[in-house]
Structure 1
Amino acid sequence: MSITVTGSIEKKGLGPGTWALVSEGGETYELKDAPSDLKKSNLKVKVTGEVRDDVMTFAMIGSVLEVKSFEVISD
């Protein structure tokens, strides 16, 4: 399922660490295949991608969102 989410990037300190998108509504998405330009804490972004129900992760902090594109709102 393709979705677009607006929110903030956070680095979660679980294991080796993982990058997450926390939506304006408070939902957390674990980012899969996030480009390096997106891996910046507190970055405000709009991300479009696919929710991957077929992927398991060690962090298990929320739905896995495979990034297709993104737009920086502010940094």
Structure 2
Amino acid sequence: MIVTGTIEKKGFGPGTWALVSADKTYELKDAPSELKKEGLKVSVEGEVRDDVMTFAMIGPVLQVSSFKVID
């Protein structure tokens, strides 16, 4: 799946990186360091992982396979 939105760092524990789209917030799994930038507008390709639980529990877990920055 492809999700477009803005990267945000949520303040749970050591911090959790999220992709906030128009209708949903996804917790990012295996996000590359280049993606971990607050306010970055991106299109992320990945897979929602129903078999993964997290401490933050801020939304579905999206395992990142690739991304591109949107100007």
Gaps of 5+ in 2: none
Show the 5 A alignment for 1:1-75.
3-23=1-21, 25-74=22-71
Q: TM-score w.r.t. structure 2 length?
A: 0.97
CA positional deviation for 1:4: 0.2
Report the alpha carbon displacement of residue 14 of structure 1 after superposing the two structures with TM.
0.7
Mapped to 2, the partners of 1:4 and 1:12 lie a distance apart of: 21
Aligned residues: 71
Segments of structure 1 that go 5 or more residues without pairing to the other structure are none
More strand by share: 1
- CA RMSD in angstroms, aligned pairs only: 0.6
Query: Which 4+ stretches in 1 moved above 6 angstroms?
Result: none
